[in-house]
């Protein structure tokens, strides 16, 4: 949510020290150092030696990013090309193979071939099934706490709930995830937006907010290294990657700019946003009462903290 505080002409005689930024108190109380936990050791799964040989006659086979015709073509395979099979779709109609586009197994660039264009060499029944990270019933809920540090604010403090639900998209790859923000006591009007989220990678593809940390709800699987453990309301502990400080600047007009500075934490399994905290400051450039200002800060700011309450899919939980 980008909340715009209307502060036209809102200045005092002299600039003041900048508002504090960084992780908010509520978020800090829920974060623990990763060193205090023993994370499950990741043991590589022993895969059977199975190969997929392209059997198209004369034409090349489409290699896709996922197990379905809705997924984009990422490469072409010639008749006789052989790939190592590392997984299969739930319906058995697609094989996940390694490796494509000249990569090797260390890079792990996997893709998918339809079963009708390949012949399997080995025990295909022993190949593990690859399941989507999210299914069509995806739901997640966040709690929001917002405060205003300006005397001009009609509302000083408000809370909200953000609820995300996936709707029917008719697409094998992309989920249409609708987000609804409802503010307590009608402090602000409801807000809503929709992201398309890849059900296999967990990444959203709106593009519009890719560099906007305020909207980084879905970064995709393994967004970064485990740095902390976040405790949810019900006591479950989620291994997260925390990053920042992030900064975003928006020109508001009439000499005013807003600067957001904050930090985020994301679940290391799915890339789901687990916590967000920021301070938003108003800076003024221009002339006021005969005095010239350059990006002056006069003490007007907002703070927001948001954290995950629940999700109906598997996060990286730890005891």
How far CA 128 is from CA of 47, 115, 172, 256, in Å, comes to 8, 15, 20, 56
**From CA 240, how far away is CA 31, in angstroms rounded?**
9
What mean pLDDT comes out for the span 27-32?
90
* Sole residue written with tokens 């999210």: 134
Give the chain's radius of gyration (CA, Å): 24
* Sole residue written with tokens 């809370």: 159
**What percentage of residues in the chain have a pLDDT greater than 90?**
70
| pLDDT (0 to 100) of residue 207 | 63
**From CA 228, how far away is CA 284, in angstroms rounded?**
37
**From CA 167, how far away is CA 179, in angstroms rounded?**
11
User: What is 51-126's CATH superfamily?
Assistant: SH3 Domains (2.30.30.40)
Summarised one tens digit per residue, pLDDT across range 69-109 is: 988 899 999 999 999 999 999 999 999 999 886 544 444 57
| pLDDT (0 to 100) of residue 13 | 38
In the chain, residues under CATH classification 2.30.30.40 are 51-126
- Residue 282 · residue 291 · CB < 8 Å: no
Summarised one tens digit per residue, pLDDT across range 176-231 is: 999 999 999 889 999 999 999 999 989 998 666 677 899 999 999 999 999 999 99
């Amino acid at each position: 949510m980008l909340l715009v505080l209307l502060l036209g002409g809102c200045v005092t005689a002299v600039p003041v020290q900048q508002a504090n930024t960084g992780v908010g108190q509520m978020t800090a109380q829920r974060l623990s150092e990763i060193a205090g936990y023993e994370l499950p050791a990741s043991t590589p799964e022993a895969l059977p030696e199975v190969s997929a040989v392209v059997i198209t006659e004369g034409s090349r086979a489409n290699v896709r990013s996922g197990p379905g015709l809705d997924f984009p073509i990422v490469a072409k395979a010639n008749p006789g090309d052989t790939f190592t099979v590392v997984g299969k779709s739930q319906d058995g109609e697609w094989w996940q193979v390694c490796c494509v586009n000249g990569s090797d197994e260390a890079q792990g660039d996997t893709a998918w071939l339809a079963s009708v264009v390949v012949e399997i060499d080995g025990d295909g029944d022993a190949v593990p099934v690859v399941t989507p990270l999210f299914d069509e019933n995806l739901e997640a809920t966040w709690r929001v706490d917002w405060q205003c540090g300006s005397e001009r604010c009609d509302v000083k403090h408000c809370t909200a709930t953000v609820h995300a639900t996936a709707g029917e998209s008719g697409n094998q790859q992309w989920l249409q995830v609708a987000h609804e923000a409802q503010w307590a006591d009608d402090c602000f009007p409801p807000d809503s937006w929709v992201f398309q989220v890849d059900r296999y990678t967990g990444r959203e593809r709106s593009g519009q907010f890719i560099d906007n940390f305020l909207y980084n709800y879905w970064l995709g699987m393994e967004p970064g290294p485990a740095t902390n453990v976040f405790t949810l309301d019900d006591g479950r502990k989620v291994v997260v990657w925390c990053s920042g400080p992030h900064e975003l600047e928006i020109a508001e007009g009439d000499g005013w700019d807003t600067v957001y500075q904050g930090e985020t934490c994301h679940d290391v399994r799915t890339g789901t946003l687990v916590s967000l905290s920021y301070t938003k400051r108003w800076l003024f450039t221009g002339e006021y009462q005969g005095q010239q200002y350059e990006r002056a800060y006069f003490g007007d700011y907002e703070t927001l903290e948001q954290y995950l309450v629940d999700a109906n899919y598997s996060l990286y939980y730890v005891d």
